[in-house]
Structure 1
């Protein structure tokens, strides 16, 4: 059994997609980041960076005690290796998949996250910041579009690279992007959106009935974090 510490954000969706695709049993442990539940001392033992998602695997393959993992890319890699699914076994296929997973973790996610912040959430509209991150989003969409021009999925077969990238493309309109400008991304996006496991993953988010993450009360929790007080 996998315990998934989750909130319905792009990074959270990555893991529900994988778990629905592979069929591993799991239990969602909601972490309401708008209320600051990511700072709970028990959660910090699992995820010291006070970010979700995180998992605890109660049946790791080494036969030892429960194993906790934080960071969505590390979780995807771990689950792929545990199940033998969605990560090629051959050297070149694995390298292709892992480099595009890291591309998402280091580029697509952080830059689109800044887009979300300055376009939607920042209390002050800063034209330079908005233009900077909207254009970087456009550039990254272009990189992905070129990558998908001659292949069905990012690394060839459907993989954890696709699961990592897809949730960040879901809010494309909010990112001021038109998928018609990126026909290969649009084709890829439509194919993943139609997968039953992906639809089940997003239904899990709806069942959670999560309130809006960003409210006036939650801004200080989410955007005003400095160094945590030492215990």
Structure 2
């Protein structure tokens, strides 16, 4: 459980916003496991809103920063920046893990917690938007995500696209993805997916969302076969 007795002013300083409505930041940090049997508001609604605000701000950032990029490149950059892992990285930079309100059933750490941190990043953005408006939310998002935008943590050609192009260039059928297993609690499931390409052994991987598991499986296939993501049409 996070250290809930800390003054959130330290967190507000890291985020770059002092909340007029203290209930907003409290809700943004509250997981539903901490609200069981009470009327305490959780971060779910704020996460929904923050996700939309984040997407709009980042889309504008990319549009202005990369004037020569086409829609496809902008879309890939957007997907990379707003994915849960990127949001979790921002949340950890803010230090929200020290302020999370988690129930006894929720352990701090591991893959499930990364998903929670990603959610809380979005809920904090939503809370700032409600508390101070779009301009302030844009300022917070720009400050937190600009470094990630300038230095992507992974290749912009995602593994699924790279694998599909590689298969098509060799006259092979489109790779087929199959869900093998779903485990974990409903609010933080983990998926196991395999990718099948005709004539090759399947590759399996896990992820906190089905889409992430598919990407991981494609990446595992590419790595095993020695195919680089930067290769044009998978030639290499």
Q: Same fold (TM over 0.5)?
A: no
TM-score (norm 2): 0.25
Q: Which has the larger radius of gyration?
A: 2
**Could you state the TM-score of these two structures normalised by the residue count of structure 1?**
0.25
